[in-house]
Amino acid sequence: MPRWLWWTPLAVLTVVVGVLLFRQGWIAAQMTETDVIDHYASRYVAEHGGRKTDCHAVPASAPRVWIEVRCGDAVVYKVDRAGRLVLPDPAEPAA
């Protein structure tokens, strides 16, 4: 068995991981505020039965949070730059 054949699985794995990481970076780079607001407004409608027009976004003041999507009177979705919901840190005091 040729020696280069032993390295083929490692090369294939490296290429696959590289493609997957490039894809994740591309998705994060192409995400806009509108995409995030629309996603969390749809989530609000599904969970609370309101309307999408009840939601708006404001810039966040917390360091880990990109924007806050506020829906209705009491629902706030804090979103990071990757589009993920930021859960409250139990170590931080409630504001």
What's the pLDDT score for residue 89? Answer: 67
Do residues 57 and 16 share a domain?
no
42, 71, 67: which is closest to 56 by C-alpha? Answer: 71
Do residues 42 and 53 share a domain?
yes
Rounded average pLDDT over 37-45: 95
How many separate domains does the chain show?
A: 2
Do residues 8 and 47 share a domain?
no
Do residues 38 and 10 share a domain?
no
List the domain range (segments joined by +) for residue 6.
1-30
Do residues 36 and 25 share a domain?
no
Evaluate if pTM is beyond 0.85: no
Angle 24-21-38 from CA coordinates, rounded to 5°: 5
- Render pLDDT for 76-89 as a digit per residue (tens, 0 to 9): 999 998 889 998 76
Which DSSP category does 52 fall into?
Answer: G
By the 8 A CB rule, do 69 and 55 touch?
Answer: yes
Rounded to whole angstroms, the Cα distance separating 33 from 81 reads 9
Do residues 1 and 16 share a domain?
yes
pLDDT category, 93, cuts 50, 70, 90?
low
Do residues 24 and 46 share a domain?
no
Do residues 24 and 51 share a domain?
no
